[in-house]
Amino acid sequence: MKLPACDLIPCVSRFCLKEWQDNWNKCMKNKLQSICPAIGTAVHSLTVCNHESVILSRLRISHTHLTHSVRKQYT
């Protein structure tokens, strides 16, 4: 019995998502897990533009210019 390849796509997709989630769960001290603990479930707001979404994500993980800038003070 032959099956079309398109019938396998959902199964392969679920398998890949499960493997990716397993790897995600194994990561220790991952700051992004507090924002998105489950892979593939991120809900993006339609009212927030991409630029604002990036800013909000960076603020959630404490990645700002202030915390990551390297400034040398000359005396």
Residue 19 lies in a domain: yes
Give how far the C-alpha of residue 38 lies from the chain's centroid of Cα atoms, to the nearest Å. Answer: 9
What is the extent of the structural domain holding 24? 5-68
Please give the tally of structural domains in the chain: 1
Q: Is 22 helix (H, G, I), strand (E, B) or coil?
A: helix
Q: Which of 43, 39, 29, 35 is nearest to 59 (CA)?
A: 35
Our measurement of the distance from residue 47's CA atom to the centroid of its chain's CA atoms, rounded to an integer in Å, reads: 20
Give the CA angle between residues 51, 53, 56 to the nearest 5°. 115
Quote the pLDDT of residue 51.
84
In a domain, residue 52? The reply is: yes
In a domain, 75, yes or no: no
What pLDDT shows up at residue 72?
54
Residue 74 lies in a domain: no
**How many CB atoms neighbour CB 37 within 10 A?**
12
Residue 73 belongs to a domain: no
- pLDDT digit string, tens, across residues 6-62: 888 889 989 999 999 999 888 887 777 777 788 876 666 666 788 887 877 777 777
Residue 75 has pLDDT above 60, yes or no: no
